[in-house]
């Protein structure tokens, strides 16, 4: 199994990702044409579906063909799309409409989630609570006397790491993998989510929020610093190290390659 850039070369994983895309199309369909078009604005294929990919790779430690795996992958992607909807469509629709489209996506995610059982609902609810908490922390900023860099990393652990963490956990649990494996994949997912967000910050501001290079230098025009790159590499190394308890095999190799791809992007 080889994950390279935005694609994977393993046929059955490609087939699983294609199944995720099919369910995403169905989940964004509405009787109201405007809703269907707006909801599909972000759901169109393109780039790496990181969270669904984590669900599918995590499922390789159990039964990857278990009936809950693809719905779990769709749930985390719908949640991700809903949380970023307002930012991506603010120039195309009134904010109230954008929020309502996000609510529509959350509703579709909730419907799929209900079919996965009470525990999956609780896990997703907890992840969403952390995600929202991270967004609030980002908005309010650090309290007086608190380290802004530490605050930023804490914010990203919730805002970006929560959903990648639950992706690994849901993939493991819906496939019947052990609790220990689910715990391991949740730790890995959170670290990878933070590393990927920080890597994006090295290239450009993310949603207008303060970035690590800016926080480290105090200069809003500052380019990425060695210290900022080192933090990305540290997060990547932590994600890779988290994989150690997992049984060796193609799935663990693919997860490690995702860490390498993020590190190389710096």
CATH code of residue 197: 1.10.600.10
Q: What is the mean pLDDT of residues 87-108?
A: 71
Reduced to 3 states, what is the DSSP secondary structure of residue 234? Answer: helix
Structural domain harbouring 28: 11-264
pTM for this one? 0.89
Q: Is 5 inside any structural domain? A: no
Higher pLDDT, 150 or 88: 150
Q: Can you give the C-alpha Rg of the chain in angstroms?
A: 18
Q: Is the pLDDT reported for residue 176 higher than 90?
A: yes
Does residue 212 lie in a domain region?
yes
Q: Burial code of 176-196, b = ≥16 C-beta within 10 A, e = fewer?
A: ebeeebbebbbbbbbbbbbbb
What's the rounded mean pLDDT across residues 142-161?
A: 92
Count the neighbouring beta carbons within 10 Å of the beta carbon of residue 111: 13
Residue 3 lies in a domain: no
pLDDT tens by residue, 232-254: 999 999 999 999 999 999 999 99
Contact between 194 and 156 under an 8 Å Cβ cutoff? The reply is yes
Whether 77 maps to a domain, the answer reads yes
For residue 213, give both structure tokens. 């290079």
Reduced 3-state DSSP string for 119-136: HHHHHHHHHHHHHHHHHH
More confident residue, 150 or 6: 150
Number of domains the chain is built from = 1
Distance CA 237, CA 43 (A): 31
Q: pLDDT tens across 215-230, in order?
A: 888 776 666 778 889 9
Of 43-47, 122-126, 134-138, 175-179, least confident by mean pLDDT is: 43-47
Residue 169 lies in a domain: yes
Q: pLDDT value at position 7? A: 44
pLDDT tens-digit series, residues 2-41: 444 444 557 789 899 999 999 998 888 888 888 777 777 6
Mean pLDDT over the full length of the chain:
87
Cβ neighbors of 57 (< 8 A, separation 6 or more) are 13, 171, 251, 254, 255
pLDDT in tens, 36-86: 777 776 666 666 799 999 999 999 999 999 999 999 999 999 999 888 775
Q: Are 191 and 238 in contact (CB under 8 A)?
A: yes
| Residue 34 in domain | yes
Does residue 246 lie within any of the structural domains? yes
4 found inside a domain? no
CA dist 196 and 198 (Å) reads 5
Indicate whether 119 pLDDT > 90: yes
DSSP string, 157-203: HHHTHHHHHHHHHHHHHHTT--HHHHHHHHHHHHHHHHHHHHHHHHH
């Amino acid at each position: 199994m080889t994950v390279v850039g935005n694609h994977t070369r393993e046929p059955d994983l490609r087939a699983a990702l294609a199944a995720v895309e099919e369910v995403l199309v169905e989940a964004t369909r509405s009787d109201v044409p405007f809703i269907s078009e707006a909801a599909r604005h972000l759901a169109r294929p393109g780039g790496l579906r990181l969270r669904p990919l984590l669900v599918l790779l995590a499922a390789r430690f159990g039964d990857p063909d278990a009936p809950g795996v693809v719905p779990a992958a769709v749930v985390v992607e719908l949640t991700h799309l809903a949380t970023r909807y307002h930012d991506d469509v603010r120039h195309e629709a009134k904010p109230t409409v954008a929020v309502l489209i996000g609510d529509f996506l959350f509703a579709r995610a909730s419907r799929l989630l209900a079919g996965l059982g009470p525990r999956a609902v609780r896990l997703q609810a907890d992840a969403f609570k952390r995600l929202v908490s991270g967004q609030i922390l980002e908005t309010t900023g650090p309290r007086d006397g608190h380290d802004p860099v530490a605050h930023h990393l804490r914010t990203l652990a919730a805002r970006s790491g929560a959903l990648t963490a639950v992706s690994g956990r849901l993939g493991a649990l819906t496939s019947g993998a052990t609790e220990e494996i689910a715990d391991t994949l949740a730790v890995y997912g959170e670290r990878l989510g933070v590393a990927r967000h920080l890597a994006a910050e090295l290239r450009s501001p993310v949603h207008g929020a303060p970035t690590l290079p800016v926080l480290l230098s105090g200069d809003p025009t500052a380019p990425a610093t060695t210290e900022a790159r080192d933090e990305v590499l540290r997060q990547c190394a932590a994600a890779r190290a988290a994989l150690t308890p997992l049984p060796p095999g193609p799935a663990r190799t693919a997860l490690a390659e995702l860490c390498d791809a993020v590190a190389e992007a710096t």
